[in-house]
Amino acid sequence: MIEPCGFPLSDRTLRRAAMDYAEACEVTRHDSWMRFEAERAPGRLVLMTTRGAEPIHSFSFRSDDILLMGRESAGVPDEVHNAADARLVIPTAPGTRSLNVVSAAAIALGEGLRQINAWPSPKG
């Protein structure tokens, strides 16, 4: 999580949003974009944006990709947009609004996991 976020960010709100998955998640907070850049692991920065140049289904994901999502209302600052190695768009039907950030994140993560064959094995 890179602050400032477009939503209240507290341990309580994170636990509530994560529901039963909180124990399986590792959340790292960065208090600024500069701090994130200084501390991040190597890998391509892949930004999901309505200003994207490439549709998500045409992109080849790698296991070291770092997926970035911006605020629903404003996206990401130009500095972040310019730093991205790839800017992807999730195509939607003509005349529809963009997806909310949770839906976009789920689609991006699902497509990335599918491409690198990293979905967890089914239970049972």
Alpha carbon dihedral 69, 60, 103, 12, in 10-degree steps, equals -50
Whole-prediction pTM: 0.84
pLDDT value of position 3 = 80
Q: Report how far residue 111's alpha carbon sits from residue 62's, in angstroms, rounded to the nearest whole number.
A: 11
- Each domain of the chain, given as residue ranges in start order, spans 1-40, 46-124
Segment 9-33, tens digit of pLDDT:
676 776 666 666 767 777 788 889 9
The neighbour count for residue 37, using CB atoms within 10 Å, is 14
**Domain 46-124 carries which CATH code?**
3.40.1280.10
Task: Report whether pLDDT(51) > 70.
Answer: yes
pLDDT value of position 18 = 65
Query: CA angle 6-10-12, nearest 5°?
Result: 125
